[in-house]
Amino acid sequence: MYNNGGRIERYLLTIMNDLQKKQLEILKEIIRVCEKHNLKYYLLGGSVLGAVRHEGFIPWDDDIDICMPRPDFDKLMALKDEFKAPYFLQNTKTDPGFTYAMAKLRDSSTTYVETVFSRTKMNHGIFVDIFPLDGMSRRKNAKKAIGPKPYLLWFMWWFTYMGHFFRKPNWKKPHWTLLGYLASIIFLPFNIFNWTAKLIKAWTKSINYDKATLIGPYLTMYFNRDSFPKSWFGDGVEGTFEGMKVILPTEYDKYLTQIYGDYMKLPPLDKQKGHHWHKGCSTTIGYKDFPQQ
């Protein structure tokens, strides 16, 4: 039961499906390592909404997102060997086929082949997304990030996966395979060794986190709306997610209102669906043994 502006509503707890159970296990492993090394993290986006409105997963959600202040995120990236098997910390350094300037912790004993990476040679285990929180403004009393930077970074992000050769040929559709490799050649100067991802990382870090007045995750779907006063995250507050204790942004009500508006109101039935698309998923078969699509 939650009190939202004087109105009290009750929501049933989520009955987790097998995918969500695996994602919860991955989240527990991330929290274990963060707590061991005193690293700060927060649930992000729909995962915050799920914790507040459902005390767990939004019933139709298909992922978990967390974020970390840039200094803590960079420290976590150096701790890849801290994660117990079958977990794998995926970033542009640990997996050459992965070109996004964020990270995922994957369970290598499972399979979740995201559509956008369906022909890419990389780890395809079920995952939890880990986003860095970066400085978005130094302006005193800034209310939101201004300018095209978040939009340009998004555009660059979606081009990172086009220009590399870590792509499996699909001989059932040879014309698309040839076009894909042609695109790789065209974009090769911008993407070899993940240069574009490195450029994105450098640009997102251009405003020092400690000196920033606004912070946010650049690589999300909300653009300038995903910029917040640093105090909204703060030290975080404890919340409940499927029976486990998690950390939410300190001002989670302000945070959720900025993103979702009246966030305690359920969306229409036709909007109650996940936002990830996949070409194959298994909680029991590792991605290396999963039948090829």
Please give the Cα distance from 202 to 253 (Å, whole number): 31
Residue 137 lies in a domain: yes
147 found inside a domain: yes
In a domain, 236, yes or no: yes
Q: Record the pTM.
A: 0.86
Instruction: Give the domain range for residue 198.
Output: 2-273
Q: What is the rounded CA–CA span in Å between residue 241 and residue 57?
A: 7
Domain total of the chain:
1
At residue 257, φ and ψ (nearest 5 deg) are: -65, -40
* Structural domain includes residue 285: no
Residue 178 identity: L
The answer as to whether 280 is a domain residue is: no
Each residue's pLDDT expressed in tens, for the chain with a length of 293 residues: 334 443 334 344 457 899 999 999 999 999 999 999 999 999 999 999 999 999 999 999 989 999 999 999 999 999 999 999 999 999 999 998 888 889 999 999 999 999 878 878 899 999 999 999 999 999 988 878 878 888 888 878 776 766 555 566 666 767 766 776 676 666 666 555 567 788 889 999 999 999 999 999 998 888 888 999 999 999 999 999 999 999 999 999 999 999 999 999 998 888 887 777 788 999 999 999 998 75
Q: What is the full DSSP assignment across 119-145?
A: TB-S---EEEEEEEEEEEE--TT--S-
List the one residue out of 248, 238, 194 whose CA is nearest residue 47: 248
In a domain, 278, yes or no: no
Determine, yes or no, domain membership for 292: no
Whether residue 258 is contained in a domain is answered as yes
Residues 6+ apart with CB under 8 A from 88: 94, 95, 105, 106, 107, 108, 123, 125
